[in-house]
Chains A and B, each alone.
Chain A
Amino acid sequence: MADLVIRNLHATIAGTDTEILKGIDLEMSRGEIHAIMGPNGSGKSTLSHVLMGHPGYEVTAGEVTFMGEDLLELEADERSRAGLFLSFQYPFAVPGVTVANFIRMAVNAHRKGGPDGEDDPIRIPEFRKQLQEAMELLAIDKSMSSRSLNDGFSGGEKKRFEILQMAMLKPKIAILDETDSGLDIDALRIVSGGINQLVGPDMGALIITHYQRILDHVKPDRIHVLMDGRIVRSGGPELAYELETSGYAGITEEVSA
């Protein structure tokens, strides 16, 4: 069985009948790179949020297994510790908590493994070393680690810090929701380089994007087109080029035909 298996996933906005995800099927494993593309408002971020356990949505049908476990039974923090990661399209500012303290807290939460786990905090020098290496990999200035996370950060800076967190938490499957938007050309190359270094036998990536550009750096094995809450087409990397030239119009026709 694949590491992440999504079957017929339906989700509504919590407390309403508004269905956003209308039956999603997708499978992927570590070592693979999948991309999801699709028009604005088609449900890409909703899918990423639902997978991560966002409280604003309700799963009404379908199932998701992650590393053989029922993902939907887990709280967001448990999903993270199980090895799922989400790089948010719109990361949150965490006032009063520095980047370094935030990431150390997350690393220690993973090491502890849950509220009932045993405290096993990472030694500070070891943490500093790891953080510094990850920051170097992503060309982030050292001085940034003492700022409040995402507080007043530029759009591109926030994206880099999402990937920094990913690098430190070493997930099994990382969902990257438009991590490329907001990055300048150099930053895109640097961040893509970082992603490439992390993807491998131990990590797979699900890249949500609007642009071919990031896929030139991070080569996907599969591309899925998400429209109106459904994956309407899946294919190889060539699908991205097709979309780039003809847009989603052709696909719409194919679906309605």
Chain B
Amino acid sequence: MSPWLAERRDLAAQSNALLPVPTLTDEHWRFTSLRGIDFDAFQPVAAPAPGEIAGAILADGDHAGRVVVRDGGAVVDELSEAVTAQGVAFGSIRRLAEERPELVEPLLGTIVGYDEKFAAENGALWTDGVLLHVPAGVRVAEPFHVAYEIATEGAAQQWRALIVVEEGAEATIVEEHLTGLPGYANGVAEVVVGAAGHLTYVVVQDRGDAALHFAAHRAEIAKDGLLDWVACSTGARTGKTRMETRLTGEGATGRLSGVYVVDDKRHLDLDTTQEHDAPNAVSDLAFKGVLLDEARSVWRGVIRVAAGAQGTDSYQENRNLLLSPKARADSIPGLEIDTNDVRCTHGATAGPVDPMLRFYLMSRGVPEAEANRVIVEGFLEEALERIPDERIRTALTEHVMRRIPS
């Protein structure tokens, strides 16, 4: 291992050793209990079985490159020749940290630090994941596809991603966390959108019924850059995802869309930030959730506007449909504003399907069950319609609607 990487792992390990496992008294963990989880029961699996994946939602069609990380390592690591010729680097981050350290060393661990328990643990223990580096001015039309899968029961998967779209570059990356065996996943994704760059980042969390899923995704967007970020969650027993956006350059835009359908006794916790550190930036967050059975969701979102970030335009909304009396959704919006001349708005709701709206549909001849589905789909559509790529939009719509009983 390169000395710089060993050093960084050391730093993270030291932090990890000092940080306790969070409890309900920690502000960010008020609604998500980790009690009773035996983290030591999950062990890294170093040598994964090779082969193709099953159960991916967005793997069909042409891709600029594909990586499959199974348990602890990449089992598929491909980049198309055309995209290689464009100067794009994409593939296993374990491999590329050795082969192209100049792309990894300057950024790894600088966007998501080691001051939080799970991020620190990941910084010390990550085994593989993805690097995407799109050089300035390069535009890649086809999406990159990444899948993370737990294929060994009880495996701990520590994945790591670094995604960089340089000045004026454009790319789409799809990241799927797949259904698989019971296990523990903990990951960190660091995302950089350069000046006037444009990244579409689609994250699907569809881990297995008994899986634990922890992730910290953090993006920085430079001047006039655009990040179109779509998060879709349907899986895991307990999941906690940080999804943080920092607008570092004037005129940057973050469009943050979330769709989740949570059933059974799943617990999904989403922690978002919209950090405005530059003037005249725009962030627009819309998360829509459907809760079934005894499922529970927590969304905690904060808009932070630094002094000097005049002209900020920031919006956040979280709306939830409760399809069962035992389902529950908590929304905790927050504003921290240190400047004048900003426009920040938020909204949060949770409730059952409006019986009057259902009556309206039924009065047109539509049976009750179908009316409910149409209302749910229409409700989610308002977030799904923000997905720029039609193929991805259609596949995700079908995926989430499969979770709605008919």
Query: Is B395 on the interface with A (CB-CB < 8 A)?
Result: no
Stretch at the interface among A35-43, A86-94, A204-212: A86-94
Tell me the residues in window 347-402 of chain B with beta carbons closer than 8 Å to chain A beta carbons: 355-357, 359-371, 374-375, 377-382, 385
Pick from A81, A85, A95: contact of B378, CB under 8 Å: A95
Whether B362 contacts A77 by the Cβ 8 Å rule is yes
Q: How far is the CB of B30 from chain A (nearest CB, A)?
A: 31
A97: Cβ under 8 A from any B Cβ: yes
Q: Which residues of A contact B359 (CB under 8 A)?
A: 52-55, 76
A71-123 with Cβ < 8 A to chain B: 75-77, 79-81, 85-86, 88, 91-92, 94-97, 102, 105-106, 109-110, 114-115
Contact of B385 among A55, A85, A96 (CB under 8 A): A96
**Chain A residue nearest to B375 in the complex (CB):** A94
Question: Contacts A92-B357, A94-B357, A96-B385 hold; do A105 and B366 have CB atoms under 8 A apart?
Answer: yes
Known: A95-B382, A97-B374. A75 touches B362 (CB 8 A): yes
Q: How many residues of B contact A (CB 8 A)?
A: 25
Is A196 at the interface (CB under 8 A from chain B)?
no
Given A97-B378, A115-B369, CB of A92 within 8 Å of CB of B364? no
A110 touches B365 (CB 8 A): yes
Tell me how many residues of A have a C-beta within 8 Å of chain B. 30
Instruction: Report yes or no: A96 in contact with B362, Cβ–Cβ below 8 A.
Output: no
Minimum C-beta distance from B81 to chain A (A): 40
> Which of B363, B369, B374, B377 touches A76 (beta carbons < 8 Å)?
B363
- From residue B365, how far is it (CB to closest CB) to chain A in Å? 4
Question: Which residues of the other chain, B, contact A97 by a CB distance below 8 angstroms?
Answer: 374, 377-378, 381
A94 vs B360: C-alpha distance when bound (angstroms): 9
Q: Is the CB of B378 within 8 A of A80?
A: no
A-B contact number at CB 8 A: 81
Residues of the A chain whose Cβ atoms lie less than 8 Å from the Cβ of B370 = 105, 109, 115
Q: A77 contacts B357, CB within 8 Å?
A: no
Q: Does A192 contact B (CB under 8 A)?
A: no
- A163-208 residues with Cβ-Cβ distance < 8 A to B are 165, 169
Give complex CA distance A55, B352 in Å: 15
CB <8 Å contact, A95 and B379: yes
- Give the Cβ gap from A46 to chain B, nearest Cβ, in Å: 14
- Cβ < 8 Å to B, chain A residues 111-147: 114-115
Bound Cα distance A115, B367 (Å): 7
**A148 at interface by CB-CB < 8 Å:** yes
Are the CB atoms of A94 and B363 closer together than 8 Å?
A: no
Can you name 19 A-B residue pairings with CB atoms under 8 Å? A52-B359, A53-B362, A53-B363, A55-B355, A76-B362, A77-B366, A94-B378, A95-B381, A95-B382, A96-B378, A97-B374, A97-B378, A105-B364, A106-B364, A106-B366, A115-B367, A115-B370, A165-B364, A169-B365
A sample of 6 more A-B contacts (CB under 8 A), given A80-B364, A105-B364, A109-B370, is A52-B359, A53-B362, A56-B356, A94-B374, A96-B382, A105-B370
